[in-house]
Amino acid sequence: MLDIKFVRENPEIVKDNIKKKFQEHKLELVDKVIELDKQNRETKQKGDELRQQRNALSSQIGTLMQSGKKEEAENIKTQVNIINDELIATEENEKKLAEEIKLIMMKIPNIIHESVPIGKDDSENVEVKRFGEPIVPEYDIPYHTEIMESFDGIDLDSARRVAGNGFYYLMGDIARLESAVLSYARDFMIGKGFTYCIPPFMIRSDVVTGVMSFEEMDAMMYKIEGEDLYLIGTSEHSMIGKFKDQILAKDKLPYNMTSFSPCFRKEKGAHGIEERGVYRIHQFEKQEMIVVCEPKDSYDWYNKMWSYTVELFRSLDIPVRTLECCSGDLADLKSKSVDVEAWSPRQKKYFEVGSCSNLTDAQSRRLGIRVKADDGNYYAHTLNNTVAAPPRMLISLLENNYNMDGSVNIPKVLQPYMGGLEKIEKKNK
């Protein structure tokens, strides 16, 4: 969420930013919120004037009563009561205007970084760099669920009967491999100096609206019926929410944390051949990282964070590339974002396995996350990044380590988490 003062003083910059995100339908919101802000400031001024009048008159009542001028005192009391009624109406109007302003401000997108490429959607994202050499073996690589099924490692049919489409049972070596990935990712991030955390898996609505846009909320979040609670779509939600309404000591920054959680997503609009299997599902586990830091440090952290994901995948000998997200592909709260994509030798292309985002002060304004300073408090910057989301990471692991005989090699860094196992073998040949 932007600063209303910035919008008021820089309406053309805000409108130009909206155009760069191809959200022309939101242009009218800028003029509307500026007008509401004007009305709100006038209403506040009127309220201040009424309070001054009331206080001035009230101070006369005691003096008049002591002087025996009861009738004059009663007349002033009547004036005070009239002012009180007007003040109540003014304060109610002020509250209403403030709520309207906040609702609109939450729909106006964050200012994108000057380096963000301009484009309408993810088809116009820009490749930045490749890490590792993509390899396509001479033999065919089966679809990932077929590989898992050959190890008796997945049961989609039972999951459909139990929970419907978008769920799965992982079993045996495949389930163990997922746990190994998560454990390795956890220890990898702890080695980078991040504090490990397991957060709440449900959050209240004021946290949901603090960490994401209304559009994202509708597309992703599952609401708990009869409760002011939502299942998290990523642990970033509750991890950033941890700092809600806090004034942070400057010498305690940055807060860099890595967290594990299950994730629950509606995944509206998922379609296409690669949406079957475990590409897009309603429940999965993920290791995430978040940083709450000084504004001046946020882009240094941004570059560190995505590089950690690249380093993690390369330690598993999986080729990856980074993509700069274009303006139209950025969610409203994001100022800059880079996707990490892993190589799929079966598809002969890369696919997304993680995303790193700098949200500058958009989340902290919504959630009230400030830094204490001698010359006035200011808003912190927040960032988030995927360390490892095993459903897709499993796909990249299985495909890049698949052998002609149907076995799958276990990367050396994962072997200690697999009891020393170097390879998993087919259960049915």
Q: pLDDT tens-digit profile of 244-261?
A: 999 999 999 999 999 999
For residue 426, the model assigns a pLDDT of 87
Structural tokens at position 17: 């930013």
Helix (H) / strand (E) element for 355: namely strand 349-358
Domain with CATH 1.10.287.40 in the chain: 4-105
User: 271 pLDDT band (50/70/90 cuts)?
Assistant: very low
Gap between the Cα atoms of 310 and 105, Å rounded: 35
Domain spanning 4-105: CATH superfamily:
Serine-tRNA synthetase, tRNA binding domain (1.10.287.40)
Label the pairing between strands 381-388 and 283-293. antiparallel
Domain with CATH 3.30.930.10 in the chain: 122-424
Q: What is the pTM of this model?
A: 0.91
For residue 305, the model assigns a pLDDT of 98
Residue 239 has pLDDT above 50, yes or no: yes
Query: For 276-295, what is the mean pLDDT?
Result: 91
User: 267 pLDDT band (50/70/90 cuts)?
Assistant: confident
First-residue to last-residue Cα distance in the chain = 56
For residue 226, the model assigns a pLDDT of 95
- With a CB cutoff of 8 Å and minimum separation 6, the contacts of 108 are 1, 2, 7, 14, 18, 26, 29, 30, 33, 332
For residue 429, the model assigns a pLDDT of 53
Residue 140 has pLDDT above 80, yes or no: yes
Query: For 381-399, what is the mean pLDDT?
Result: 95
Residue 275 has pLDDT above 70, yes or no: no
Gap between the Cα atoms of 360 and 330, Å rounded: 13
User: 428 pLDDT band (50/70/90 cuts)?
Assistant: low
Q: Which CATH number applies to 122-424?
A: 3.30.930.10
For residue 219, the model assigns a pLDDT of 84
Give the rounded percent of residues in the chain with a pLDDT score beyond 90.
85
Gap between the Cα atoms of 362 and 383, Å rounded: 10
CB-side neighbour CA atoms (13 Å) of 331: 24
Gap between the Cα atoms of 274 and 104, Å rounded: 37
